[in-house]
Amino acid sequence: MLVEGYQGLVVHGPLQATWLCHLARLQREGAPLRHFAFRGQSPAICNTPVMLHATADGIDLWASSEGRLTMTATAGWA
């Protein structure tokens, strides 16, 4: 058994990216995305709240959990 020292199960990084991608689309009323890039920053742990954030223009997005940045992303439209 592999033990990595996390407080619990880790939330799949691409799942967080999917949430941010959906948030980006909501910022631009469902306009098709031309570009979406994401980068994991720290693990989000299951059963802890994850908050999604975006700048007013929806270009920069991020997720946080318990005061820690867990994922960053940028979006671009056609």
Q: For each of the chain's 78 residues, which pLDDT tens digit applies?
A: 567 888 889 999 999 999 999 999 998 887 899 999 999 999 999 999 999 999 988 899 999 999 999 999 999 997
* Of 63, 25, 20, 59, the residue nearest 44 (C-alpha): 63
User: What's the confidence (pLDDT) of residue 2?
Assistant: 62
Task: Tally the C-alpha atoms within 13 A of residue 59's C-alpha that lie toward its C-beta.
Answer: 4
Q: With respect to residue 55, please indicate whether it lies within any of the assigned structural domains.
A: yes
Q: With respect to residue 28, please indicate whether it lies within any of the assigned structural domains.
A: yes
Alpha carbon separation from 16 to 2, 30, 41, 76 (Å, rounded)? 23, 18, 11, 18
Q: 62 is in which domain, residue-wise?
A: 13-77
* Of 75, 49, 48, 50, the residue nearest 63 (C-alpha): 50
User: What's the confidence (pLDDT) of residue 12?
Assistant: 93
Count of domains forming the chain? 1
Q: With respect to residue 6, please indicate whether it lies within any of the assigned structural domains.
A: no
Q: With respect to residue 1, please indicate whether it lies within any of the assigned structural domains.
A: no
Q: With respect to residue 62, please indicate whether it lies within any of the assigned structural domains.
A: yes
Q: With respect to residue 39, please indicate whether it lies within any of the assigned structural domains.
A: yes
